[in-house]
A = this chain, B = another copy of it.
Amino acid sequence: MLPLQQFQDFIKQHQLFAKDDKILVAVSGGKDSVLMLHLFKAIGVNVGVAHCNFNLRADEAQRDENFVKMLAVSLDLPFYITHFDTKKYAAENKISTQMAARDLRYNWFEELRIKENYDYIALAQHQNDAIETILINLTRGTGISGLHGILPKRDKLIRPLLCLTRQQINEAIDNNNLDFVEDSSNLSTNYTRNKLRLQVIPHLQEINPNLEKTFAENIARFADVEEFLAIQVKKLSAKLLNKRGDGIYIPLDELLKLQPQKLLLFELLKPFGFSESTIEDISNSLKSLSGTHFFSASHQAIINRNDLVIVAKDSNEHFNQFIHPSTKNILFGKHEVKLSFSTEIKFEIDANKAFVNADKLIFPLVLRNWQNGDKFIPLGMRHPKKVSDFFIDEKVPLHLKSSTPILINGNGDLVWIAGMRQDNRYKLTTATKKVAIFELEKY
C-alpha cells in the first residue's frame, strides 16, 4: 500500500496546490522521486516528469535518464529531459559543481514550468533531509530563518514528500516493489550531509526514536516564530522607513527605542545587505556624530542629523539630483552637499566650499556627475576649459573623476566642480546682494 492518506493530508494541510493544478515532478530516478511520482499518479494529479542529465558520471547518468524516460512512458506521462555541461558552467561561474547543478536544474525547471504551462514544480525532499538541513545550519551558524528546515511550499516549488521519513519511503518502495535506480545523481548527498546522516543522526535517534516527528513539530514552531517576526518587522518597516528622494530615512530616536535593538535593526536593514557585524557597529553608533557611515556591498548607511539614512551605493551618482532654494542638504554617492544663503558678502578660501553669486542662480540647480564635453571657466580665468583637461591638470584619479559632484545652474552653466574649483562667472562681485554657500562633505 502506498502512503496515500499521509500524502493527501499533507498536501491539504499546507495547501500545496489546487485540485486541477498541473504539477511538474522532478524525477532523478532515485527512491524518493520515484515514490513521489507514483503517489502523484495514484491520487490522480495531472503531472509531467522532468529529468536533468548533469553529465557528471557518464554511464550512470545515461542509465538514469533511460530509466526515468521508461518510467514516464509506462505511466503514460509527458517526459522532459535536458543535458547540462555542469563542469563547464561551474568553471565559468567559479562555483562548485554542486552549486552549478543546483543553479542549472532550478533555472531549467522554472523555464520548463512556464513554457509547458505547469503550476508547480514538485521536489522530493523528505523529513530526514529537513533534519539534516537544520543541523547543517546550526553547525555552520544561523538565525531563526535557518530553523524552518525545508519549507513545504516556496514560490512555485512544492515538497509534498516532507510528510514522510526516509524509512517510510524505503518501506513504501519495498512493499510496493517499485523499481528505481541507485541515486548516482543525488546531488544533495555531499560530504556534510553524509556525515550527519550516517554519524550524527543515528545517535540522536537512539535518544529519541521518533526524531523525525519531533523535528517536524520543532520546525512548525520555529516557522511560526519566524513568521511572527517577519510580520512585525514588516509593520515596523512601514512605520519607520521613510523614502525621501534618493534615500531611506529612519529616525534615530525610533531606532534607539527598538528592543532587542540588534535583532530588529538587522531585520529592518536586511534588504540592504549589511553584514551582521556592520549592523552591530551601526547599533553601537546610533548616538554617534552626524556623518558616521557604514557600507554593505550595495548600500551605505549614514548617521545624518536625526536619521539613519540608507542610500544605494553610487545609485545617486548616476542621475541628476535637483537642488531647490529650500534644499538644505543633498546626498550624492559618498558625498553630501549642503546649501545655505547669506546676505553678508564674504567668502573663504576652501575648495570644499563654493561662495556663489545667488542672484545669478536659476533654480532648480542640478547636481550630477561629470559628463564628456563639460566646460567651465575656472575661478580667476577668462576662458572656458574642458573639465576633462582640468581633471588631467589637477591629476585627479579616474575613480574620483566619476564620483565628483558637479553643480550645474538652471541655464546649463557649470557652477562648481565640488571640492575643486568654482566657476569664474558665478564668483562674488561688489554688486552681489546675496551669497549661496555650497559646502561639500565627504564620507
Residues of A in contact with B (beta carbons under 8 Å apart)? 134-136, 138-144, 147, 192, 195-196, 199-200, 203-204, 206-208, 211, 214-215, 217-218, 221-222, 224-225, 227-229, 231-232, 259-260, 262-264
Contacts and interface: CB of A to CB of B under 8 A. Distances in A.
B214 A204 contact: no
A168 to B, nearest CB: 19
A203 B211 contact: no
B199 A203 contact: yes
Nearest to A213: B141
Contact of A214 (B134, B141, B231): B141
Contact of A263 (B134, B140, B143, B225): B225
B259 A231 contact: yes
Q: In the assembly, how many copies of this chain are there?
A: 2
11 contacts: A141-B208, A141-B217, A143-B218, A143-B222, A144-B225, A195-B207, A200-B200, A200-B203, A221-B263, A225-B263, A227-B263
Contacts of A222: 143-144
Nearest to A260: B224
A262 B203 contact: no
A225 to B, nearest CB: 5
Contact of A211 (B139, B142, B211, B225): B139
Contacts of A200: 200, 203-204
A199 B199 CA distance: 8
A276 to B, nearest CB: 8
A144 B221 contact: yes
A259 B222 CA distance: 14
Contacts of A141: 208, 214, 217-218
Contact of A140 (B140, B199, B208): B208
B207 A140 contact: yes
Contacts of A260: 224, 227-228
A408 to B, nearest CB: 48
A239 to B, nearest CB: 14
Nearest to A259: B231
Most buried by B among A142, A214, A222, A224: A224
Contacts of A144: 144, 221-222, 225
Nearest to A225: B144
A135 B260 CA distance: 25
B227 A225 contact: no
A207 B192 contact: yes
Contacts of A143: 218, 221-222, 225
A252 B140 CA distance: 43
A199 to B, nearest CB: 5
B199 A195 contact: no
Contacts of A136: 207
A211 B136 CA distance: 11
A410 B110 CA distance: 77
A139 B259 contact: no
A222 B229 CA distance: 12
Contacts of A135: 204
Contacts of A225: 143-144, 225, 229, 263
